[in-house]
Amino acid sequence: MDWQDDRQKLPWAFWQTLILALGWIAVGPWSAMAQSRDTENTLRLDEGTTRPAAKIADVGWLAGYWRGDGLGGECEEIWSLPAGDRMHGIFTLANEGGLVFSEAMTLVEEEGSLVLKVKHFTPEFVGWEEKGDFVRFPLVRLDDNQAYFRGLTFRRESDETLLIYIALSKDGERKEHELRLDRVAFQDSP
């Protein structure tokens, strides 16, 4: 009796189990971290999937003073060095010399991954969100020079250039905005 004859005598349940096992080996470890494209340069984590493991040191390349254009105005973003399990940042958007809004940001290790927490403020420093609320951007994927959070991507194009992509919804339409920021030495600030 050869292999072909033996294969025909094996029960169907065996073949189903084998097919399922091979399928899990092929996609199982990756399916728990499934991501979908939100916009051209942003991602979202599919429902029921696990966030990738990450430490704050993995995004230490964000630290510094960054300035450039985006969102119809002049942007500045300042990130502290990693300290413990977090980094802190400030973002401002100015247009025609006046502040449009600002953000206070905390990038923190949470449940073995990272989450970016953002609170927005008017030029008069009144919070957009309620007192205890903030916007959460959980980490979706982390590469050497890119950190993908839900609807928000930081991409280090070089040591001197940071690209930020953010997906915003307006009137039911999802649109991506690019911020191109250059590293600035603090003594070069206006």
Domains of the chain and any CATH numbers: 1-31 (no CATH), 56-188 (2.40.128.20)
pLDDT > 80? residue 163:
yes
Beta strands 73-79 and 64-70, pairing class: antiparallel
Q: Shortest CA distance to 44 belongs to which of 180, 150, 132?
A: 150
Residue 30: the pLDDT is 37
Query: Residues 59-82: pLDDT tens digits?
Result: 999 999 999 999 999 999 999 999
Is the pLDDT assigned to residue 188 strictly greater than 70?
Answer: no
Amino acid (one-letter) located at 85: D
Q: How far, in Å, CA of 30 to CA of 76, rounded?
A: 36
- The pTM for the full model equals 0.79
Rounded to an integer, what distance in angstroms lies between the CA atom of residue 127 and that of residue 115?
20
Q: What is the pLDDT of residues 142-162, one digit of tens each?
A: 998 999 999 999 999 999 999
Per the prediction, the chain carries an average pLDDT of 85
Q: What is the pLDDT of residue 35?
A: 79
E-strand spans in the chain?
Answer: 35-39, 42-45, 64-70, 73-79, 86-95, 98-110, 113-121, 135-142, 146-149, 152-158, 161-170, 173-183
Q: Are strands 152-158 and 146-149 parallel, antiparallel or unpaired?
A: antiparallel
